[in-house]
């Protein structure tokens, strides 16, 4: 019995559900085991560790979350509460977010529709979401017209590009007298930088590519993004704070947010130890070798996660569309809002600090070596 108590002193004896519980109470009281237990741990670690004042929180968004309304219902409240400091998203999520900003409706349906009939009627389907083909055409037209303005006539990183798009969408909502329901607009308002790890892999990128055929001067700089995201993490840790990541799904955004640490340690040769907190919601298996299902322990071997912090790393194998609303409800119920860090406002300063430190080492003849990666104590 003594050994059992060392494993756990928490008996499984949940209260009967009455129907009057809040979402947070339901998670704490009845999400005890299996992936429900892991979702409870994600919620609790998010609130007790990532939302501490000294932790900078990065979020990744993959899968078709914004078309399902999760930008409005869940991500925007997290941003407004100061619970998300920077984001790496697929371009598709930001493109579909723009539909809502432009008042172009998407509709609930069911998955077993006749896709041949949908095509004949110019209806697009994302599983059980349907909308008119004109929604794509109108959104494409918006982007092609917007990027003709002088503010986009230059080379920029994706955070700057999304900030300028968000500025326009925020102003549009204000002119119409309403509160913005756009993730891009609210991120602009809150100073939360949004990066896209594969800027050409979305309809936004496709429309930017069309401008390039017209010899437009807008160019997205993914190398700027690599160093800029690394500088966010380096600044957080350099100033004595911590870095936490909340990963929804996997894919390219997951790798992009985690590679900040190998960029700092392995490539730039600056002393670091990895992200402090790793929380992931995914439906991908680890045994296929894909990045989407790779565990925090595996990421630790690459220097992406601090080995001393593995007990605070949790992976929940479930659908993000189930987990995210519950996590948002839990966090808002269990933690007071945090002051906005407005990392976008400090973007250039952080980048220049990382660059100066790297150039100082480089000019001194130092080369990246394994000693830059701090070992577990």
Q: Which two tokens stand for residue 244?
A: 């936490």
Distance CA 268, CA 354 (A): 9
Among 348, 341, 350, 336, residue whose Cα is nearest residue 191: 341
- How many other CB atoms are found less than 10 A from the CB of residue 222? 15
Determine contact, residues 17/26, Cβ cutoff 8 Å.
yes
Catalytic site residue from 49, 242, 304, 374? 304
The dihedral built from the CA positions of residue 254, 258, 262 and 268, taken in this order, carries a sign that is: positive
- Is 242 considered catalytic here? no
Question: What whole-number distance in Å separates Cα of residue 170 and Cα of residue 89?
Answer: 19
- Provide the sign of the torsion angle of the four alpha carbons 151, 156, 157, 158, taken in this order: positive
Residue with tokens 């800027």: 199
β-bridge partners, 220: 156
- Give the whole-angstrom CA distance, residue 1 versus residue 254: 41
* Coil vs helix vs strand at 216: coil
The C-alpha atoms of residue 51 and residue 53 are separated, in whole angstroms, by 6
Q: Is the dihedral of CA 327, 332, 333, 338 positive or negative?
A: positive
Do 126 and 321 meet the contact criterion of CB atoms below 8 Å apart? no
The rounded distance, in Å, linking the Cα atoms of 258 and 252 is 10
The two structure tokens encoding residue 266: 């392995």
- Burial of residue 363 (CB within 10 Å: 0-12, 13-18, 19+) is exposed
Question: Could you list the active site residues?
Answer: 304
């Amino acid at each position: 019995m003594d050994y059992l108590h060392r494993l756990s002193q928490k008996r499984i004896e949940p209260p009967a559900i009455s129907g009057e519980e809040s979402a947070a109470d339901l998670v704490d009281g009845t999400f005890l085991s299996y992936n429900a237990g892991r979702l409870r741990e994600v919620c609790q670690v998010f609130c007790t560790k990532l939302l501490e004042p000294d932790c900078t929180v990065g979020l990744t968004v993959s899968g078709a979350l914004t078309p399902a309304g999760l930008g409005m219902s869940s991500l925007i409240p997290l941003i407004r509460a100061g619970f998300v400091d920077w984001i790496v998203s697929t371009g598709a999520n930001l493109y579909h977010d723009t539909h809502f900003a432009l008042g172009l409706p998407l509709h609930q349906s069911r998955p077993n529709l006749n896709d041949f009939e949908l095509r004949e009627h110019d209806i697009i389907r994302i599983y059980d979401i349907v909308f008119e083909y004109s929604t794509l055409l109108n959104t494409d037209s918006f982007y092609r017209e917007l990027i003709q303005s002088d503010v986009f006539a230059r080379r920029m990183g994706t955070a700057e590009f999304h900030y300028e798009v968000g500025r326009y969408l925020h102003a549009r909502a204000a002119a119409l007298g309403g509160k913005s329901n756009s993730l891009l607009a609210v991120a602009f308002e809150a100073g939360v930088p949004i990066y896209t790890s594969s800027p050409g892999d979305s309809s936004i990128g496709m429309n930017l590519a069309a401008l390039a055929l017209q010899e437009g001067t807008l160019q997205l700089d993914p190398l700027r993004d690599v160093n800029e995201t690394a500088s966010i993490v380096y600044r957080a840790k350099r100033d004595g704070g911590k870095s936490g990541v909340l990963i929804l799904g996997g894919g390219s955004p997951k790798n992009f947010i985690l590679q900040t640490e190998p960029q700092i340690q392995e490539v730039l040769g600056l002393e670091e130890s990895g992200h402090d907190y790793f929380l992931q919601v995914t439906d991908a298996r680890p045994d296929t070798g894909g990045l989407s299902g790779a565990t925090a322990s595996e990421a630790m071997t690459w220097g992406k996660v601090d080995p001393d912090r593995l007990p605070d790393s949790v992976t929940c194998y479930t659908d993000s569309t189930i987990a995210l609303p519950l996590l948002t409800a839990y966090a808002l119920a269990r933690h007071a809002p945090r002051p906005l860090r407005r990392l976008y406002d400090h973007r250039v300063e952080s980048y220049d600090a990382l660059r100066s430190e790297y150039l100082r080492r480089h000019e001194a003849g130092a080369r990246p070596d394994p000693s830059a990666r701090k070992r577990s104590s």
